[in-house]
């Protein structure tokens, strides 16, 4: 079989005989946004299979090169790895798994927009027992065990085009897309190179995941400092979803439990309300993109109208596989130290029922 150009031989046309084919290099591909036609395997392909369905990243031994991303030749930085699959973010029904080498820290400095039902899983590899997809004994997922050397995803703060403080993470203007974390630690952003954190009314997209669907499985969610950066935010006029199983929240590495230990400060207690944000609606006098601020005054903004569907499992630590499983903290029902204290903008009716959270249980 010979791949031929469609016009050949002395300015004339020669019909191709079977089994000759047209070489794809002679067929122009449209640059229109959303075009999914690609040249794969010597031909044109339309589908939702990404070039890199499994992406490996090693911040120590990896190399950022277009030919990398495999387990034998991992990328070095998380932003580069995500950049290599950016076209896949436009596909519907695509599942891409990021395998992060255990015990390492990965800065997340880019802000990535997801507007289709793409699924991104972030987990670990390099444990002698397997990776985050491993199930021990056919019953216990490895991501649930407490003694995994969890890689750390560190969101990094920056100012966006509207002059507001944002952070590395994922945003969906359509409320679509799924971001899941398995057996990792996710750190909310730290305002770098500042002695004093910006005031709360200057924060824009201040969460690792905004207005999408997020899953936390065997994960540690941590606020490294007391600034108002968070893990998840719900914009006005959108519906989001959060699923959690065997995940622990900490502030500066400390579990805020009862009785609180001596290392917890009053500022830590305030900081915990910024794990989840409900963003107010656009200020009436400022309609620029990204203008959703966390704390506009009553004269410039209105209460947010976003709604979160919450699936929260209270999981106790158990002994298994010569170690223990990670426990859920905070639990949903504790009035003084439970999940209710981890929301900014949570609203209740006169019977103290949450108005902007849909949950299987009251809290």
Digit-coded pLDDT (tens) for 22-47: 777 777 777 776 676 767 666 766 65
Are 355 and 297 in the same domain?
Answer: yes
Regions of the chain where pLDDT drops below 50: none
Pairing assessment for the beta strands 135-136 and 213-217 based on DSSP bridges: unpaired
> Could you give the angle at the alpha carbon of 247 between the alpha carbons of 242 and 252, nearest 5°?
105
Strand partners, 254: 251
| Structure tokens given for 267 | 């500022």
Cβ atoms of 60 and 86 closer than 8 Å: no
Are 19 and 119 in the same domain?
Answer: no
Sign of the CA dihedral running 118, 123, 126, 130: negative
Structurally, the chain folds into a number of domains equal to 2
Pairing assessment for the beta strands 319-320 and 323-324 based on DSSP bridges: antiparallel
What pLDDT is attached to residue 6? 59
Q: Which residues in 37-69 are b (16+ Cβ under 10 Å) and which e?
A: ebeeeeeeeeeeebebebbbbbbeebebeeebb
What pLDDT is attached to residue 205? 82
Instruction: Among 47, 62, 83, give the residue marking a domain's end.
Output: 47
> How many Å apart are CA 103 and CA 315, to the nearest integer?
24
Are 292 and 341 in the same domain?
Answer: yes
Are 7 and 150 in the same domain?
Answer: no
- What pTM, to 2 d.p., does this model score? 0.85
**Residue of 182, 181, 183, 231 whose CA lies nearest to 206:** 231
Are 37 and 60 in the same domain?
Answer: no
What pLDDT is attached to residue 307? 93
Are 39 and 101 in the same domain?
Answer: no
What pLDDT is attached to residue 9? 59
Q: Domain of residue 24: give its range.
A: 1-47
Strand partners, 329: 248
What pLDDT is attached to residue 326? 96
Are 232 and 298 in the same domain?
Answer: yes
The backbone region for 299, taken as left when phi is positive above 0, alpha when psi lies in -120 to 50, beta otherwise, is: alpha
Are 55 and 42 in the same domain?
Answer: no
Are 63 and 124 in the same domain?
Answer: yes
């Amino acid at each position: 079989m010979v791949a031929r150009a469609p016009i050949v031989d002395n300015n004339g046309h020669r019909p191709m005989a079977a089994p000759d084919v047209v070489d794809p290099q002679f067929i122009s591909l449209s640059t229109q946004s959303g075009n999914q036609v690609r040249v794969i395997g010597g031909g044109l392909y339309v589908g939702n299979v990404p070039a890199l369905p499994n992406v490996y990243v090693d911040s120590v031994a990896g190399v950022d090169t277009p030919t990398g991303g495999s387990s034998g030749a991992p990328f070095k930085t998380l932003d580069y790895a995500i950049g290599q699959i950016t076209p896949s973010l436009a596909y519907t029904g695509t599942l891409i798994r990021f395998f992060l080498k255990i015990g390492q820290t990965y800065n997340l400095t880019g802000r990535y927009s997801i507007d289709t039902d793409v699924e991104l899983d972030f987990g670990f590899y390099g444990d002698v027992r397997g990776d985050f997809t491993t199930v021990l004994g056919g019953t216990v997922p490895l991501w649930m065990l407490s003694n995994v050397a969890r890689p750390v995803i560190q969101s990094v703060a920056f100012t966006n085009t509207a002059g507001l403080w944002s952070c590395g993470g994922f945003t969906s203007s359509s409320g679509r897309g799924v971001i899941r974390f398995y057996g990792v630690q996710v750190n909310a952003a730290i305002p770098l190179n500042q002695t004093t954190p910006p005031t709360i009314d200057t924060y824009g997209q201040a969460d690792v995941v905004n207005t999408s669907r997020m899953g936390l499985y065997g994960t540690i969610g941590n606020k490294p400092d007391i600034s108002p950066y968070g893990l998840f935010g719900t914009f006005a006029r959108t519906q989001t979803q959060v699923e959690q199983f065997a995940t622990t929240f900490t502030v500066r590495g400390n579990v805020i439990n009862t009785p609180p230990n001596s290392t917890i400060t009053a500022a830590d207690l305030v900081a915990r309300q910024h794990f989840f944000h409900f963003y107010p609606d656009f200020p009436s006098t400022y309609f620029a993109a990204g203008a959703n601020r966390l704390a506009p005054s009553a004269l410039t903004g209105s209460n947010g109208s976003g709604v979160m569907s919450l699936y929260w499992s209270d999981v106790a630590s158990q002994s298994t596989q010569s170690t223990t499983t990670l426990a859920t903290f905070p639990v949903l029902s504790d009035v003084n130290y439970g999940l209710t204290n981890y929301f900014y903008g949570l609203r209740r009716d006169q019977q103290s029922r949450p108005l902007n959270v849909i949950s299987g249980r009251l809290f």
